C-alpha cells in the first residue's frame, strides 16, 4: 500500500470538488482513501483492495493517505475508534461486522475490528461497485469497467449470522486464502473449531504403549491408539496439554480434547463404570466423553476459567448425552457425516428419517450445551464428481441459524471444477442466511458464464435434479446417490457443455476459460462413471482402464488456479475405489 504525502495531492484537490461527488470521474481520481498511521494489517489490506479495484474498474490511481486534508472527497476506513474514523458517531459494529455511511463528501467504512473494516470494503465493492469473486484467482473475478464512479450513497451495517465460520478453503489451494476473505468466509477465531486430537495429547507410540499401556483404550483385548478417558492420569495429562497450549496461544478460546478418528474405544472396567453411572445402555460414548471433559474443565478452570474445551459429536458419540450435563465451557460440533446422514435431502425435509434424527441431535445438544456448532461437508473427500447439494445448502444454513447453532464448519475439499458452486453459495449464505438464493444464483450464472449462462445453468441443474431424483428409487443417506452417475446422464451433461462452448466462443476470453474449466471436471466425471459402469457389469479389466484414464485426467489439472481438483487426494481415493476392480481383474486372468 502506498501512503502519499499531502503535497503530492494538492493539484488533484484543487481540480476536484465540482459537481456531484465522485470517487473517479472520466478516469481521473476525485477522492482519496484515508487510513490511520497505525493501521493494522487488515486495515491496510482494506485500503489496498479498494485502491486496486478502483484502478481495475476505472484506470484511476486513487491515493491512499494518512492526511485528511488531501481531497474534498474522502473514503475514511478503519476500526471503530481509530484516527481515520474518529469523527464517525455511530455505534461500534460487532466483531467482523462493519458500518457503511455516506455523509456529504465522506464515505465512512467502520469495522468492529480490523477484519470488519476489510469486510466493509468487500461489501462496498460487491454491492456498489459490482465486483464478484466467484472462485479464487483471476478466473473467478468479475467486474464491470467504467471511467466514472460516483461516490456511493449508502447507509447500512453488516455482521455475520454465526459467531464463527470456517472450512470453505479446508484443503487450501492457490489463491484460496485470498478468496476466503473476499467471500467473508472466515468469521470468528480460527480456534473456535477443532478436530481429532488425542494423538497430540498422548502420542500412541510403541514406547508410550509399552511404558503406560493403561493410558490407552482396551478394545477386544488389544490396546488401541484411542485413550482410556476414565484413567485419572489421562485426565491429568490432558489438563497439562491444555495449559501448555494456552500458554503458547493465549488468545485461543478453545483446546480440542476430541478422540482420534476411527474406532477402538475403551471397554475396560473404568470406562464401563462411567457408562453405567449415566445409564447408558445403547453403546453410545457421548456421556463418558462429556464426563471426561467435565473433569478436565474443573481442573483447567483453576488456571484458565474462561477457556473452552471441545469434543466433536461424531460417529459413536454424535447423539446428546443421556444424563450427564456438560460444563458451561464445553463445546461441540455435530457432524453431518455423508455416510451416516443424508445430503440427498435438506435437513428440514420431513420425508428424510436420517436428517430428522440429525436435527433431533442438534436440538438436543442446544438444550444442554452453550457452544454448539455443525460440521458439514460442502466439498467431498471421497467423490470428486459434481456433489450436487445446492438444493440442501440453500435450506440448511437458514435452518441451522433458526435452530440456534452458533458456529458452522464445512470440510470443503477444494475441487473447484466440479463442486465450486457449493463453495460460493455456501460462503454467501454462511455470512447471511437471509440472502435471496435465486438472485444469487441468477447473478452467478449471468456474470460468470455470460452468453453461455443458459446451457451452463442447465448443466449444473441437471446434476442437482439427478441427485434429488435418487430419493424415489434409492432412499435416503449414505452413498446410494452415486447410482445417479450413468453414462446417459454424463452424455446429456456433455451436450450442455457443447452448447455452452459454442456460445462462449463469441464471448470474452475469460468466459471461454470458465466453460473450459467446467469441461475439466466433466472429463474426470466421464471416465469415473465409465469405471463404475464397467464394474457393475463385472467387466473388471475395462473398469481398471477407465479408472486409470480418470486418474490421468485428474493429473492433467495439476497447477490450475483455481484448483480444479485436490489432485493428491482425488488420485489416492480413486485408486482406493479401483483396488477391488484390480483384484477382480487379476483373478479373472488366472
Q: How large is the average pLDDT for residues 420-426?
A: 98
- How far, in Å, CA of 203 to CA of 226, rounded? 10
Average pLDDT on 345-358 reads 94
> Tell me, what's the pLDDT at 397?
98
How far apart CA 484 and CA 54 sit, in angstroms, is 46
CA nearest neighbour of 387 among 507, 482, 457, 250: 482
Asked if 181 and 169 touch (Cβ cutoff 8 Å), the reply is no
For the cut 50, the answer to whether the pLDDT of residue 416 exceeds it is: yes
The answer to whether 333 and 409 are in contact (CB under 8 A) is yes
Q: Which of 396, 470, 469 is nearest to 437 (CA)?
A: 396
Query: What integer pLDDT is reported at residue 363 of this predicted model?
Result: 97
pLDDT of 1 higher than 70: no
| pLDDT (average), residues 313-323 | 96
Q: Which residue ranges make up each domain of the chain?
A: 6-159, 195-311, 449-589
Residue carrying C-alpha cell 474405544: 265
Mean pLDDT of all residues in 462-468: 95
- Give CA angle at 42 (41, 44), nearest 5°: 65
Give the model's confidence band at 471: pLDDT under 50 very low, under 70 low, under 90 confident, else very high. Answer: low
What number is the average pLDDT over the span 139-148? 97
What is the rounded distance in angstroms from the CA atom of residue 548 to the CA atom of residue 544?
6
What is the per-residue pLDDT for 69?
84
Q: Which residue has the higher pLDDT, 13 or 495?
A: 495
HEC profile of 557-569: CCCCCCCCCCHHH
Q: Tell me how far apart the alpha carbons of residues 229 and 238 are, in angstroms, rounded to a whole number.
A: 10
pLDDT at 15: 45
Instruction: Give pLDDT, residue 8.
Output: 37
Q: What is the DSSP string of 262-325?
A: SS----SHHHHHHHHHTT--S---HHHHHHHHHHHHHHHTTT-TT-EEE--B-GGG-SPPSS--
Q: Look at residue 2 and tell me whether its pLDDT is greater than 50.
A: no
Alpha-carbon span 268 to 453, nearest angstrom: 61
- DSSP class per residue in 447-473: HHHGGGHHHHHHHHHHHHHHHHHHHHH
The shares of helix, strand and coil residues in the chain, as percent rounded to the nearest 5, are 50, 15, 35
Phi, psi angle pair for 108, to nearest 5°: -95, 130
On average, the pLDDT of the chain sits at: 94
- Largest distance between two CA atoms of the chain: 89
* Pairing between β-strand 32-34 and β-strand 74-79 as defined by DSSP bridges: parallel
CA 250 to chain centre: 25
Mean pLDDT in residue range 399-413: 95
Q: What 3-state DSSP class applies to 137? A: helix
User: pLDDT digit string (tens) for 548-575?
Assistant: 999 999 999 999 999 999 999 999 999 9
Q: Which residues lie across from 100 on neighbouring strands?
A: 109, 156
**Assigned C-alpha cell, 315:** 460417529
Distance, in Å, from the CA atom of 547 to the CA atom of 529, rounded to the nearest integer, reads 9
Residue 476: pLDDT over 80: no
When pLDDT is cut at 50, 70 and 90, the band that residue 474 belongs to is: low
**Cβ-based burial of 283 (10 A; exposed 0-12, middle 13-18, buried ≥19):** exposed
CATH number of 6-159: 3.30.379.10
Q: Cell 466423553: give the residue.
A: 289
pTM of structure: 0.93
Structure confidence at residue 347 (pLDDT): 96
What pLDDT does residue 470 have?
Answer: 81
Could you give the residue ranges of the DSSP H alpha helices within 372-415?
Answer: 390-403
Distance, in Å, from the CA atom of 126 to the CA atom of 156, rounded to the nearest integer, reads 14
Amino acid at each position: 500500500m502506498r501512503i502519499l504525502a499531502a503535497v503530492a495531492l494538492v493539484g488533484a484537490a484543487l481540480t476536484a470538488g465540482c459537481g456531484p461527488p465522485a470517487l473517479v470521474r472520466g478516469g481521473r481520481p476525485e477522492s482519496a482513501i484515508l487510513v490511520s498511521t497505525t493501521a493494522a494489517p487488515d486495515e491496510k489490506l482494506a485500503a489496498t483492495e479498494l485502491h486496486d479495484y478502483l484502478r481495475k474498474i476505472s484506470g484511476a490511481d486513487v491515493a491512499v493517505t494518512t492526511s485528511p486534508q488531501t481531497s474534498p472527497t474522502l473514503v475514511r476506513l478503519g476500526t471503530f475508534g481509530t484516527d481515520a474514523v474518529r469523527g464517525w458517531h455511530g455505534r461500534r459494529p460487532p466483531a467482523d461486522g462493519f458500518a457503511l455511511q455516506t455523509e456529504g463528501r465522506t464515505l465512512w467504512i467502520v469495522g468492529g475490528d480490523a477484519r470488519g473494516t476489510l469486510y466493509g470494503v468487500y461489501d462496498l465493492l460487491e454491492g456498489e461497485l459490482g465486483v464478484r469473486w466467484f472462485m479464487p484467482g483471476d478466473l473467478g473475478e468479475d467486474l464491470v469497467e467504467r471511467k466514472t464512479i460516483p461516490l456511493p450513497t449508502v447507509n447500512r451495517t453488516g455482521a455475520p449470522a454465526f459467531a464463527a465460520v470456517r472450512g470453505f478453503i479446508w484443503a487450501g489451494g492457490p489463491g484460496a486464502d485470498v478468496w476466503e476473505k473476499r467471500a467473508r468466509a472466515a468469521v470468528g477465531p480460527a480456534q473456535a473449531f477443532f478436530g481429532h486430537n488425542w494423538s497430540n495429547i498422548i502420542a500412541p507410540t510403541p514406547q508410550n504403549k509399552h511404558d503406560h499401556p493403561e493410558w490407552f483404550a482396551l478394545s477386544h483385548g488389544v490396546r488401541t491408539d484411542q485413550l482410556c478417558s476414565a484413567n485419572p492420569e489421562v485426565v491429568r495429562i490432558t489438563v497439562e496439554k491444555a495449559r501448555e497450549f494456552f500458554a503458547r496461544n493465549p488468545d485461543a478460546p478453545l483446546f480440542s480434547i476430541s478422540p482420534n478418528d476411527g474406532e477402538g474405544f475403551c471397554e475396560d472396567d473404568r470406562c464401563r463404570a462411567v457408562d453405567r453411572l449415566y445409564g447408558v445402555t445403547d453403546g453410545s460414548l457421548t456421556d463418558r466423553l462429556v464426563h471426561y471433559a467435565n473433569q478436565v474443565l474443573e481442573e483447567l478452570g483453576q488456571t484458565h476459567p474462561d477457556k473452552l474445551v471441545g469434543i466433536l459429536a461424531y460417529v459413536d458419540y454424535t447423539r446428546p448425552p443421556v444424563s450427564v450435563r456438560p460444563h458451561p465451557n464445553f463445546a461441540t460440533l455435530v457432524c453431518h457425516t455423508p455416510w451416516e446422514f443424508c445430503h440427498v435431502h435438506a435437513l428440514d425435509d420431513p420425508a428424510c428419517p436420517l436428517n430428522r434424527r440429525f436435527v433431533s441431535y442438534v436440538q438436543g445438544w442446544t438444550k444442554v450445551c452453550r457452544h454448539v456448532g455443525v460440521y458439514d461437508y460442502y466439498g467431498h473427500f471421497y467423490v470428486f464428481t459434481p456433489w450436487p447439494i445446492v438444493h440442501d445448502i440453500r435450506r440448511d444454513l437458514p435452518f441451522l441459524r433458526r435452530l440456534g447453532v452458533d458456529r458452522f464448519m464445512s470440510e470443503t475439499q477444494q475441487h473447484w471444477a466440479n463442486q465450486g458452486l457449493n463453495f460460493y453459495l455456501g460462503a454467501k449464505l454462511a455470512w447471511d442466511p437471509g440472502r435471496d438464493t435465486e438472485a444469487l444464483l441468477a447473478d452467478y450464472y449471468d456474470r460468470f458464464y455470460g452468453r453461455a449462462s443458459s446451457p451452463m445453468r442447465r448443466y449444473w441443474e441437471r446434476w442437482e435434479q439427478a441427485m434429488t431424483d435418487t430419493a424415489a428409487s434409492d432412499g435416503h443417506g449414505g452413498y446410494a446417490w452415486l447410482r445417479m452417475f450413468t453414462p446417459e446422464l454424463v452424455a446429456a451433461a456433455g451436450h450442455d457443455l457443447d452448447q455452452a462452448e459454442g456460445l462462449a466462443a463469441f464471448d470474452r476470453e475469460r468466459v471461454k476459460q470458465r466453460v473450459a474449466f467446467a469441461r475439466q471436471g466433466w472429463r474426470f466425471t466421464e471416465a469415473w462413471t465409465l469405471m463404475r459402469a464397467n464394474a457393475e457389469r463385472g467387466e473388471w479389466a475395462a473398469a481398471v482402464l477407465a479408472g486409470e484414464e480418470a486418474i490421468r485426467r485428474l493429473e492433467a489439472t495439476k497447477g490450475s488456479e483455481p484448483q480444479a481438483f485436490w489432485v493428491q487426494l482425488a488420485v489416492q481415493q480413486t485408486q482406493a475405489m479401483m483396488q477391488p476392480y484390480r483384484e477382480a481383474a487379476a483373478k479373472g486372468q488366472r
